[in-house]
Amino acid sequence: MIFSSSNLNLFPFIIPTFNRGNIINNSIKSVLNQTYKNFEIIVVDDGSTDNTKEEINKIKNHKIRYLKLKKNSGGSNARNIGIKHSHGQYISFQDSDDIFYPDKLEKQIQNIINQNSDLDFCKINIILNRTFNYFIPNFSQEKSIFEGNIFDELLSRGNFISTQSILVRKNFIEKYLFDPNMPRLQDYDMILRMIPKVKISYTKDVLVDLRIQNDSLTRSPIKLKEAIYKLLNKRYNFNSHQNESFRNYLHLLLKRQFNNT
C-alpha cells in the first residue's frame, strides 16, 4: 500500500438490513476481508423479525457494531442512523445482500488521495437472480465521465452512482443524508442534492457485486413510479437548462416503464 501515516484513518462501513439473516454474513465477511484493515462495520438492523441478530453474533469480530431499531423505518433512515453513529472522515455503504471485492476500500482510498476528491464511486456488477448481470456505469456513461460530464449525464440519463459504490466524506453526507420519504432512488436524490458542492472521482474497476433479490425494493414498479413523481416535485439547485434536461429524462422514464403519455 502507498498511503502515508498521515492518510491513515478509520473508515466505517454502514450496512442497513431487514430480515436478511440468511445472507448477511457473506456480506459482512466480504468487508472483513478488505485488504485495507482500518475500518469499522456498523450494522443497522431495521427491525428484523428473523434470525439476523443471531447470525451476526456468530461472527465474533471487534470491528462489528450492531444497532437494533425497534421498528422497521426503511433503509434510508437506517443509513442515516448509521452515519450519526459512525467515526472517521469517510464513509462507505453496503447493503446486506451485496458483496465487496477485497480491494474495494484500498483502491477507492487511493483514488481519493490521488484526485483530492470528496466522493469516489466505482463500477458495480448488478446480478439479477443469478441468471443475468450488467455493469454500471456502462461504456457510454464511462465515456461521459472521463470527458468530465458527470453532472449532465446524471441529469439526462439517470443515476449510475449507486449507494454501494461510493466512499464519501462524512461531513458532506451529514449535510444531505438520505431522504426517508423516497421509496426508491434515494441514492440518486442524494447525489443530485450533493453534486453541485462535491468533487467526484471515479474508480473504473468493478469492486461490488450487487445482488437484487425478488423481494428487493429495487424490483418494485409501484415504488419506482412513486419515487419518480417525488423527484419531479423536488426543487434542486439546477439552472433552467439542467432542470429541463432532468425533467425530460424523468418523463421519458415514466413513459418507458409505465407507458405514460
The string of pLDDT tens digits covering residues 6-53 is: 444 799 999 999 999 999 999 999 999 999 999 999 999 999 999 999
According to the model, what pLDDT value does residue 3 have? 46
CA-based angle 139:140:146, to the nearest 5?
A: 85
**185 Rama sector, left if φ>0, alpha if ψ -120 to 50, beta otherwise:** left
Tell me the pTM.
0.91
pLDDT (mean) for 208-227: 80
CA dist 163 and 177 (Å) reads: 12
Residue 49: phi and psi, rounded to 5, are -115, 5
Q: What is the CATH number of the domain that holds 239?
A: 3.90.550.10
CA dist 18 and 217 (Å) reads: 12
According to the model, what pLDDT value does residue 253 have? 95
According to the model, what pLDDT value does residue 130 have? 72
Domain limits at 153?
A: 5-258
Flag whether pLDDT at 153 surpasses 60.
Answer: yes
According to the model, what pLDDT value does residue 97 have? 84
Name the domain count of the chain.
Answer: 1
Tell me the per-residue pLDDT of 95-136, one tens digit each, with 9 for 90 and over: 988 999 999 999 999 999 999 999 999 999 999 877 789 999
The rounded percent of the chain whose pLDDT value lies above 70 is: 93
pLDDT (mean) for 192-220: 84
